[in-house]
Every structure is written in C-alpha cells, then in structure tokens.
Structure 1
Amino acid sequence: MHNIETIDKLLKDELAATETYKQALDKLREDAALGESEYLMPIYEAHKDAVSSLQAQIRQLGKTPSEGSGAWGTWVEILQGGANMLGKKVALKVLQEGEKNGAEDYEKALKDTELSSNIRSLIETKLLPAQQAHIRTLDRLLDAAA
C-alpha cells in the first residue's frame, strides 16, 4: 500500500508541473516570447509523459490514479499567476523551483525501501534524469534572461 501513496504523490507533482508549464507556455505565446517556449515545450511534454507512466504504474497496482494535482497544484497556479504578472524571469524561477522540488520528491521516493523495483527503475532511469535535465535547461534560460 505504501507504494501507492508514494507513486500518487509523485503523480500529483507531475500533474502540477503540467498545469504550470501549460500556463507558462500560454503566457509566453501571448507575449510572443517564443524563444523560451521552444525550450519549455519539450519539458511540458516530458511531464505529460511522466504523468502517463505514473498513472500506468498505479493502474498496474489495481488502483485509480489521482486526477488532479491537489493542494500543491493550487499553490503552484497562484504562484505562477503572480509570476506571469511579474515577468519572464520570475516565471522561469518558479518553474525551476518546481523542478527542484520534484527532483527532491523523486530522491526521497528512492529512499523508500518498500518501493517496488519497477517504479524504482522508472524513477532512476527516466523520471529523475528528466527532472535534472529540466533544471539544467531552466538554469540556462535564467542565465540568458539575466
């Protein structure tokens, strides 16, 4: 049962990430700042892919995956809304913070001794490396925006 709670928390993180990136991409399109959106779009797609992978894991365990991002997603929406008004650099910083939090959650999940080998493998080979790559991309975008 412990596996389900861990995987579900990771799923909610990924759902929050997809919501946040969608908002950021919509905002960048409005501002015609398409340079960033070409870098952010693959990250958005990677988070959508992570959602699918985690949902599949939960279904394999015979449970129903969460549909929404919960309280974290609501907080992220409010924060991203504020960031959108404050400008591109703040919006990128919010995205970067979210990625760092997500990476920490994956690292914490890997410390869970009850985590099944298939979800552990998914995190180690796909989800955590993707998260770390997202952080590096956002670091570059933030450096360029400075």
Structure 2
Amino acid sequence: MHTIDTLNKFLKDELSATETYQQVQDKLAEDAALGESKDLRPIYEDHKEAVSSLQTLISQLGGTPCEDSGAWGTWAQIVQGGANLLGKEVALKSLQSGEKSGAEAYEEALQETELPLEIRSLIETQLLPAQQAHIRALDRLLATETD
C-alpha cells in the first residue's frame, strides 16, 4: 500500500535523524571545546516523538513499521561523522541540511491530493512544524557560532 510505504519512508528519515543527533550529542559531550549538546536535546526528543507517532500510525493502518534507517541513515552517519571531525559549525550545518530535506519531504507529501486525512493531519500538526522549528533553532545556534 502506497500510504504505508510513504509513512515508512518518513519513519526511516526520522530514525536517521535520531541516530545522527545522538551521534552529534555524544561528540559534543566528549569534546567540551565544541560546546554544549543540551541545545540539541529538544530536537532529538522531537525526532524520537515523531518516530513513535509514525510507528503507531503505520501499525494502526495495518502495516509493519521499519526498524532501521536503511541506506539513508548510513549515509547521514558518514556525512555527520565527517562533520564532527571538522567542528561544531560544520556539524550544525549538516544537521540543518537534514532538517531542510525532511521539511521538503513533508511539504511534497502535502501536495498529494490523495493523501489520507490522518497522514495529512500528522504532517500538518506535528511533523512539519517540528522540522521548521528545528531549522530555526539550528539557525540560532549557527548565528552564535559565527559571532
């Protein structure tokens, strides 16, 4: 079913985001010179909540939620691993790029006229607003990095 596939794609993206934020938080925590990881914690928690919401909806629709982030998650971790080596600003820009990509995916889904109401509602009320808030939060963190 197309709906389950779409939701599982979103779920993979959200799982990738949780993995990537966890990796960056760990890196920032171990390298105090890079700064605080607490600024990223609310974004990480939002992505965990999105994972939970998507898993629940997929199950309610009779599908099986995917359990890992797949190839995209592996790629995101490689990119983020390189960014972590290059410093906090590059790491934050990498996270921001991922957030923008996620927001675009949600906006594209909303363009589909046959998108079921429960998915449209989840995207409009939770997933997309969270992505947009994450982009703004990362903008603020990047602004303080370059001052």
TM-score normalised per structure 2: 0.95
Report the equivalent of 2:91: 91
Hey, what's the Cα distance between the residues in 1 that align with 2:22 and 2:130?
Answer: 18
Q: Percent identity?
A: 71
- Report SS of the residue matched to 1:125: helix
Q: 2:39, 2:49 → 1: CA distance?
A: 16
Superimposed CA distance per residue, residues 105-135 of structure 1 (whole angstroms, 9 cap, x where no aligned partner): 1111111222210111011011100100000
* Structure 1 residue 20 corresponds to structure 2 residue 30: no
Match of 1:53 in 2: 53
Q: Which residue of 2 aligns with 1:141?
A: 141
Question: Quick one: distance in 1 between partners of 2:133 and 2:34?
Answer: 20
Native 8 Å contact 1:18 1:44 kept in 2: yes
Cα distance per residue 1:81-122 (max 9 Å; x no partner) = 101100000000000000000000111111122221011101
Match of 1:106 in 2: 106
List alignment gaps of at least 5 residues for structure 2: none
Aligned to 1:5: 5
- The CA deviation string for residues 20-48 of structure 1, in whole angstroms up to 9 with x for no partner, is 00000000100125854222000000000
Conserved 8 A contact 1:2-1:114: no
Give the residue type in structure 2 aligned to 1:58: I
In 1, are the aligned partners of 2:24 and 2:84 still within 8 Å (CA)?
A: yes
- Which runs of 5 or more residues in structure 1 are unaligned? none
In the alignment, structure 1 residue 32 sits paired with structure 2 residue 67: no
